[in-house]
Amino acid sequence: MRSSLEKILVRMLDELGLITDEPGRLTRTFLSPAMLRANQLVGAWMQEAGLTVRTDAVGNLIGRLEAGVGAPLVGASGRRQAPPLPAKTLLLGSHLDTVRDAGRFDGPLGVLLPIVALAELKRRGATLPFHVEVIGFSEEEGVRFASAYLGSAGYAGRLREPDLKFRDAKGISVRGALEAFNGGKFALPKAAHGKSNLLGYVEVHIEQGPVLEAKKLAVGVVSAIAGQSRFKLTWTGKAGHAGTTPMFLRRDALAGAVEFAAGVEAIGRRTPGLVATIGSLTVSPGAANVIPGEVVHTLDVRHAQDSVRRAALMQIGRLATQVADRRKLKRAWQRTQENAAITCSPALTERLTRSVQAVQGKSLSLVSGAGHDGVVMSALTPVAMLFVRCRDGLSHHPDEYASPKDLGVALDVMIDFLSRLAADY
């Protein structure tokens, strides 16, 4: 039975992986045409599984399964019980947007796996005494606006006016994109649920690192997620003729940005556990025979301990000042994201661990260096995360891969988790 469920999940991941904004490689960004097509396809799968589907004002796809009110329920005591009213809601999900030239698993796995698990429970005739919402968040990667978690921030009522001001490469603001999506005015959404109505949020995700592979385990449980800061930096010098301007008279914005990048890397290397990345850089005017007058680039800095990340940011700030002063460049910083490290809910994590132990024999606790929707969702409700082994720990790459066998283990864990939660409810 399990192998047929894995096959269904793999087929869904493959089919969704073909929906892209860039022919020949997988790229789906916030509210893009491919994102809307992805929502249609996943929405249809949600409906087949018996979920009622809606899309919210920030493009999140939400499939809801009402508690099986009136159906025979068996509690921990073994006696038939009436469900307590009103039932609470369990949230399951992850994101449907991707990085550029992405793999098929980062995000979609955490949306599709719960759909397959809920369909299987329905096939078995099992009803849950709580509501379930499966959420496909519209934005987690921060590719289009260099600011991540717009989807979960919208769902959790954490989107703020300054978030709407970021602009994409075409100059469209977040507000502009949301107004186009909603066909008119956009108002900042309230949280989709009151905290007291929720049971928690559980996200399944590939590990995106090598630990589970090294430990020869299919799945593990996340204990905490590293904190993260992202910035957009602009270096402004003076464009000029590349053949006639002597080196000592130049104010080359790219030379400054490159010196800064090397310094950032050095700070990352000498600070244990710190990761610092400049992942996108644009040079203007951008010609072989013109001195770069302006450089705009991103900066992403992460650490499991917020105090270490903050100290590193101070060093990086001083470095930028030194480089700018020495080279007579102007530099401007825009903070596009700031998330403290979060600790997963001990109670929900313990439940998930019990299910991992039941299915896999033993569990493993991991800290996530990658960001996840759970970071923002933790402001709304207790969060737990299940990691699935991925080949060579590779992610944000088209070769990203999790084996059908490991997906089967993760499915079994989800089914076990839902069944135990229902029994204890």
The Cα-based distances of 317 to 146, 253, 293, 332, 349 in angstroms read 19, 17, 21, 11, 37
Minimum separation from the CB atom of position 26 to Mn ion (A): 12
Determine if 200 is a binding residue for Mn ion (CB under 5 A).
no
Q: Which is nearer to ligand GLV, 141 or 163 (CB)?
A: 141
Q: Which does 329 bind (CB under 5 to 8 A by kind): ligand GLV, Mn ion, none?
A: none
Minimum separation from the CB atom of position 396 to Mn ion (A): 6
Segment 102 to 141, residues that bind ligand GLV, using CB under 6 A: 141
> Which among 416, 422, 424 is positioned nearest to 129, based on CA atoms?
422
Dist CA 298 CA 214 (whole Å): 32
Tell me the site size for Mn ion, rule CB under 5 A. 2
Judged on CB neighbours under 10 Å (0-12, 13-18, 19+), 77 is exposed
Q: Which is nearer to Mn ion, 113 or 255 (CB)?
A: 113
Q: Which does 406 bind (CB under 5 to 8 A by kind): Mn ion, ligand GLV, none?
A: none
Q: Which does 254 bind (CB under 5 to 8 A by kind): ligand GLV, Mn ion, none?
A: none
Q: What are phi and psi of 93, to 5 degrees?
A: 165, -175
> Which among 190, 171, 174, 194 is positioned nearest to 182, based on CA atoms?
174
Minimum separation from the CB atom of position 371 to ligand GLV (A): 4
Q: Which does 107 bind (CB under 5 to 8 A by kind): Mn ion, ligand GLV, none?
A: Mn ion
By beta carbon distance, the residue nearest Mn ion is 106
Dist CA 59 CA 54 (whole Å): 9
Minimum separation from the CB atom of position 159 to Mn ion (A): 19
Q: Which does 129 bind (CB under 5 to 8 A by kind): Mn ion, ligand GLV, none?
A: none
Dist CA 130 CA 199 (whole Å): 9
Minimum separation from the CB atom of position 311 to Mn ion (A): 26
Dist CA 397 CA 390 (whole Å): 12
Binding-site string for Mn ion from residue 79 to residue 108, where x marks contact by CB under 5 A and - marks none: ---------------------------xx-
Tell me the site size for ligand GLV, rule CB under 6 A. 3
Tokens of 41: 């396809």
Dist CA 368 CA 226 (whole Å): 6
Minimum separation from the CB atom of position 200 to ligand GLV (A): 21
Contact, 157 vs 60, CB < 8 A?
no
Q: Which is nearer to ligand GLV, 99 or 113 (CB)?
A: 99
Q: Which of 371, 374, 382, 408 forms a contact with ligand GLV (CB under 6 A)?
A: 371
- Look at phi and psi of residue 104 and say left if phi exceeds 0, alpha if psi is from -120 to 50, else beta: alpha
Minimum separation from the CB atom of position 98 to ligand GLV (A): 9
> Which among 49, 196, 33 is positioned nearest to 111, based on CA atoms?
49
Q: Which is nearer to Mn ion, 107 or 154 (CB)?
A: 107
The Cα-based distances of 274 to 91, 92, 367, 387 in angstroms read 31, 30, 14, 21
DSSP secondary structure letters along 176-226: HHHHHHHTS---PPPPSS-GGGEEEEEEEEE--SSHHHHTT-SEEEEEEE-
Determine if 408 is a binding residue for ligand GLV (CB under 6 A).
no
Segment 138 to 197, residues that bind ligand GLV, using CB under 6 A: 141
Determine if 370 is a binding residue for ligand GLV (CB under 6 A).
yes
Dist CA 346 CA 97 (whole Å): 29
Q: Which does 371 bind (CB under 5 to 8 A by kind): ligand GLV, Mn ion, none?
A: ligand GLV
Dist CA 369 CA 332 (whole Å): 27
Q: Which is nearer to ligand GLV, 354 or 396 (CB)?
A: 396
User: What is the binding site for ligand GLV (CB under 6 A)?
Assistant: 141, 370-371
User: What is the binding site for Mn ion (CB under 5 A)?
Assistant: 106-107
